[in-house]
Amino acid sequence: MHILFYSDELASFQYSATHPFKPGRARQLMDLLNRYALMYEPNQKILKPEPLDEKLLLLFHERRYIDLLKKCNSGEFSLEMLEAGIGNPDNPVMPGMLDFALKASGGTWQGVMMLLNGEARFVFNPLGGFHHAGRNYAEGFCYINDIAIAIQECVNRGKKVAYIDIDAHHGNGVQDAFYASDKVLTISLHESGKTLYPWSGFEDETGIKEGEGYNVNIPFMENTDDEVYLHAFRELVPPLLERFNADLIFVEVGGDAHREDPLAHLSLTSNAYREIIQTINGLSDRIIATGGGGYNVFKTASLWALAWSLFCDIEPEDNFAGSVGGMMFGPEAHSGSLNDPPFTVTGGTKEQCMDHARKVAAFLKENIPLLKS
């Protein structure tokens, strides 16, 4: 069974009119799934996420921080919140914020429970994926780390988990959660912390104690294109996943690695996303994907629709191609396809990006035991 978690209520929530994080991307995704006939198979189901039980927050977050989130939920503000990362432009105080976060996170929790119980093969929660939130602070538009909570429960049940993050921003909250654990293989492919928030995720951050060698960061230079990104991905990710042999895989399908994203500086197209997802999909029969970042709303929704089609092994078919008064999605760039034309960076910039990626791969092969033959 392939499960998609969605709620009109959650997709209508706004941090603010000008905030770059737009839950409405999920509604655009639903429109595209309809347009491309990607939601009509008998083994597919849409479920409304139930709120995460507040007690489950303690699997990762500290009680004092949870109490601050409750106050924020009613619109109350205090200087203590600022110390916990709440009340700044990235993470504003909003009435109903905790309610939203619990419901959005609930889809991730429910999805993992369905995978563990054998009720699903693939689950997608586009409204989840808050990979920056820490144990006692909000960060990067993230208040509750739904991923860390769900993975911790898996570990408590004796499961090994692989986490793959292809968001343009380093998944620092998840890294911090399992930096000393050998039960979670954390792999983050992202723009280098030298040029992009959260200014972390360098290749020499490989874990501590029992977790040494189980935290893998693959940072890329600005302007990295499909060829460079996929070179590193092919060299590193499949062998890591095959040798770790996880019981289930988490994938953070951030849309902000795309070349049209306004907040990051990578140059990927849908072609790279296609290969990455197809590869991961062939390596496990229990996968959960979360949405994460992506600040070009229409392109992110398009990438998520493509990801859904690939995980479900369905070829998109445009039901509205050539029709008058058909469905429009911002600047109409789909032209009957979710796929981008090829794009390649050239010249000295390309050489620098490839050289950097090769050096990162060589370092990791030398320092990560799972990559040693």
Q: What is the pLDDT along the chain (373 residues), one digit of tens a residue?
A: 999 999 999 999 999 889 999 999 999 999 999 999 998 889 999 999 999 999 999 999 999 999 999 998 988 888 899 999 999 999 999 899 999 999 999 999 999 999 999 999 999 999 999 999 999 999 999 999 999 999 999 999 999 999 999 999 999 999 999 999 999 999 999 999 999 999 999 999 999 999 999 999 999 999 999 999 999 999 999 999 999 999 999 999 999 999 999 999 999 999 999 999 999 999 999 999 999 999 999 999 999 999 999 999 998 887 666 554 444 554 444 455 899 999 999 999 999 999 999 999 999 999 999 998 6
Q: Report the C-alpha gap between 11 and 14 in whole angstroms.
A: 8
Whole-structure pTM value: 0.93
CA distances from 118 to 162, 213, 247, 282 (A): 18, 30, 12, 18
Catalytic residue numbers, as ranges: 132
Which of 195, 226, 12, 200 minimizes the C-alpha distance to 100? Answer: 12
User: What are the DSSP E strand ranges found in the chain?
Assistant: 2-5, 44-47, 122-125, 161-165, 184-191, 215-220, 248-252, 287-290
Full DSSP string of 309-343: HHHTT-----TTTT-TT----SS---TT-SPPPP-
Q: Could you give all domains of the chain from N- to C-terminal order, each with its CATH number?
A: 2-321+342-371 (3.40.800.20)
Assess contact for 24 and 68: CB atoms under 8 A: no
Assess contact for 220 and 361: CB atoms under 8 A: no
The packing angle between helices 146-156 and 97-116, to 10°, is: 30
